[in-house]
Amino acid sequence: MSQSTKNYYLPGPSFWPLIASIALFLIFGGFALALNQIGSGKPLMIAGVLVFVYLLHGWFGEVIKESVSKVYNKQVDLSFRWGMGWFIFSEVMFFFGFFGALFYARNVSLHWIADAQLLWPGFVASWPSAGPKLVLEGSIGPWGLPAINTLLLLTSGATLTWAHWGLMKNNRNQLTIGLVLTILLGFAFVLLQAHEYGENVFTIKSGIYGATFYMLTGFHGLHVTMGAIMLTIILLRVRSGHFDAHNHFGFEAVAWYWHFVDVVWLFLFIFVYWL
């Protein structure tokens, strides 16, 4: 690559996009087959996931190598910022769809079902509800584990910011300790969430309450897990001496993502557990 850092860095030809396409084809094609009890589905899916992990490792590895060799100028850095910002916006809209379903069911459609007494006499709209034909066994309030989880995630946001301050002051110890604490808090959150799932009597099949509960908290839990893995990779990069006070967008991108996951949780805590 002969471009000086003065010009916008344009990567050369790359195989990674095609590998991404193969990975998603195997994952989704295999998933479709597996859902219909066709034997080849699961192996295809597993192969797809392996290709996907290889892809992430290879593609991000290449980008990290480029970043460390300083081929990115300020403008490229700004591109990454715009890109990450809009990616998070797309994630916001993804959760928005599920929250919309929750509000619609609670405030609109359950009442309509209750009004149609001809179909289901005696059904009263209330929340939580599993609908007129199912029985909801148990639900979950906010002030047990969910409150502890809120505390964990909020603290993890603070420790991450503290780690960022360490990075800005070039205090590598503060950076490392802050990151380790954040990761531990993140995984603790996931473990407690898994524990809560194990305790719950109701399942994803328990009508609209179970469906919205597990869909929202499940996707959120998945995002926390991904975020914690991303933070772990950032920690490994910190240990290999990457990032300095001026040049650390990889760190910031993951931090943005982590705060996004944090905010989604606050909405979950209020609308799924509390109100």
Partner 1 sequence: MSTATAKHDDHGHDSHGHPTGLMRWVKSTNHKDIGTMYLWFSFTMFLFAGAMAMGIRAELFQPGLQFFQPQVFNQLTTLHGLIMIFGAIMPAFVGFANWQVPLMIGAPDMAFPRLNNMSFWLLIPAALLLVASIFVPGGAVAGGWTMYPPLAIQGGLSMDMSIFALHILGVSSIVGSINIITTIFNMRAPGMTLMKMPMFVWTWLITAYLLIAAMPVLAGALTMMITDRHFGTHFFNAAGGGDPVLFQHVFWFFGHPEVYIMILPAFGILSTIIPTFSRKPLFGYASMVYATTAIAVLSFVVWAHHMFTTGMPVAGQLFFMYSTMLISVPTGVKVFNWVATMWKGSMTFETPMLFAVAVVFLFTIGGLSGLVCAILPVDIQVQDTYYVVAHFHYVLFSGAAMSIMGGVYYWLPKWTGHMYDETLGKWHFWLTTIAFNVTFFPMHFTGLAGMPRRIPDYSQQFAEFNMISSYGAFALGLSQLLFLYVVIKCIKGGAKAPASPWEGAHGLEWTVPSPAPFHTFETPPVVK
Residues making contact with partner 1 (CB under 8 A) = 1-3, 7-8, 10-18, 20-22, 24-25, 28-29, 31-33, 35-36, 38, 59, 75, 78-79, 82-83, 86-87, 89-91, 93-94, 96-98, 100-101, 104-105, 108-110, 112-113, 119, 129-134, 203-205, 207-212, 214-215
Nearer to partner 1 among residue 77 and residue 262 (C-beta): 77
* Least distance (Å) between residue 114 CB and partner 1: 10
Q: How far are the Cα atoms of 36, 56, 120 from residue 30, in angstroms, in the given order?
A: 10, 20, 40
End-to-end alpha carbon distance in the chain: 57
Q: Which of 145, 265, 133 is nearest to 196 (CA)?
A: 145
C-beta atoms surrounding 231 within 10 Å: 24
Nearer to partner 1 among residue 95 and residue 258 (C-beta): 95
* Least distance (Å) between residue 131 CB and partner 1: 3
CA distance 55 to 25: 13
Non-local (6+) Cβ contacts of 244 within 8 A are 167, 170
Both tokens of 24, joined, read 């998603």
* Least distance (Å) between residue 241 CB and partner 1: 26
Signed CA dihedral, 214, 219, 224, 228: sign only: positive
Nearer to partner 1 among residue 111 and residue 239 (C-beta): 111
State the Cα torsion 37-41-42-48 to the nearest 10°: -160
Q: How far are the Cα atoms of 60, 74, 83, 128 from residue 6, in angstroms, in the given order?
A: 23, 9, 21, 59
Nearer to partner 1 among residue 105 and residue 224 (C-beta): 105
* Least distance (Å) between residue 98 CB and partner 1: 6
Nearer to partner 1 among residue 182 and residue 212 (C-beta): 212
* Least distance (Å) between residue 7 CB and partner 1: 6
Both tokens of 262, joined, read 């944090």
Nearer to partner 1 among residue 81 and residue 259 (C-beta): 81
Nearer to partner 1 among residue 123 and residue 162 (C-beta): 123
* Least distance (Å) between residue 124 CB and partner 1: 12
CA distance 246 to 79: 16
* Least distance (Å) between residue 200 CB and partner 1: 15
